[in-house]
Amino acid sequence: MTAIPIPSSNAAPIRVLIADDHAIVRQGLSHLLTSATGIEVVGEAVDGTEAVSLAEQLHPHVILMDLAMPRMGGIEATEAIDNTHTGSAVVVLTTFGDTDNVTAALDAGAVGYLMKDATPDQIIDAVRSAHAGGSPLDPRAARTILEARRRPDPVGSVDFGAPQLTEKQKEVLGLVAEGLSNRKIARRLGISEKTVKAHLTAVYAALGVADRVQAALWFSKHY
């Protein structure tokens, strides 16, 4: 990931909520982030249910979200938070890098996806990137999406080389091809701009393209 500029000392701190069911992980992340310039940890959640509640109460800028948690998992919590329109950007931080989890998390509204063996600098940069409107994606998570496009379709589709996009991703991509902005797409589909960005991040990785222009050209050729 590209390093994000460090905020000036006069800028308001980035408010972060940590959601993980392991106390040692929460403590470690809290210590790491509070030691970074311009970042403030405003809360810690032990499961998805508490993460949703604290997101509504604290309105953090960024939420670091584990996936496997009791009561409510990270994907369900991410979707619930996205539906409340709190403005919080969810970055998944997990040990699971399989295609199903990566796709499900991005579909639920996560703007980024990191593995727990990420370096301290990668985690800090991801928080700053998400707050700045970026979509920090672990290269291995992106690779799982790229590999999925090469797998034979289990239902016997004729085009075995076609990327495996979800119906929502196809819908978003179609609106991009029509020239709509992320904001207009969000309004058309009744979802947040963060969710639109998350879908596009997954689409770019699946198609192997760098931007919305290339994605739109791909859509025009194939649909």
Query: Where does the pLDDT of residue 155 fall: very low under 50, low under 70, confident under 90, or very high at 90 and above?
Result: very low
Q: Is position 89 within any domain?
A: yes
pLDDT at 157: 39
Specify whether 53 is located in the same domain as 99.
yes
Q: How far apart are CA 17 and CA 81, in angstroms?
A: 12
The residues that bridge with 14 in the sheet, in sequence order, are 39
Q: How far apart are CA 26 and CA 21, in angstroms?
A: 8
Q: Which of residues 143, 171, 204 is at a domain's end?
A: 143
Residue 7 and residue 53 in contact, taking contact as beta carbons nearer than 8 Å: no
Question: If you average pLDDT over each of 39-43, 132-136, 206-210, 215-219, which comes out highest?
Answer: 39-43
pLDDT at 1: 43
Q: Compute the average pLDDT of residues 74-100.
A: 89
Q: Compute the average pLDDT of residues 155-174.
A: 69
pLDDT at 220: 79
pLDDT at 10: 65
Specify whether 129 is located in the same domain as 37.
yes
Q: Is position 126 within any domain?
A: yes
Closest CA to 60 of 123, 18, 7, 15: 15
Specify whether 218 is located in the same domain as 108.
no
Specify whether 78 is located in the same domain as 170.
no
pLDDT at 9: 58
Q: Is position 173 within any domain?
A: yes
Is the pLDDT confidence value at 213 over 50? yes
Residue 66 has which token pair? 């584990």
Specify whether 112 is located in the same domain as 182.
no
Specify whether 21 is located in the same domain as 85.
yes
Residue 49 and residue 72 in contact, taking contact as beta carbons nearer than 8 Å: yes
- What phi-psi label fits residue 211: left (phi over 0), alpha (psi between -120 and 50 degrees) or beta? beta
Question: If you average pLDDT over each of 64-68, 108-112, 143-147, 204-208, which comes out highest?
Answer: 64-68
Specify whether 127 is located in the same domain as 193.
no
Domain tally for the chain? 2
Reported pTM: 0.70
Q: Compute the average pLDDT of residues 47-68.
A: 96
Residue 88's contacts (CB-CB under 8 Å, 6 or more residues apart) are 17, 55, 59, 60, 61, 62, 63, 81
Range of the domain at 55: 14-143
Is the pLDDT confidence value at 143 over 50? yes
Q: Is position 88 within any domain?
A: yes
Average pLDDT value over all residues in the chain: 85
Query: Where does the pLDDT of residue 45 fall: very low under 50, low under 70, confident under 90, or very high at 90 and above?
Result: very high
The residues that bridge with 19 in the sheet, in sequence order, are 45, 65
Specify whether 126 is located in the same domain as 171.
no
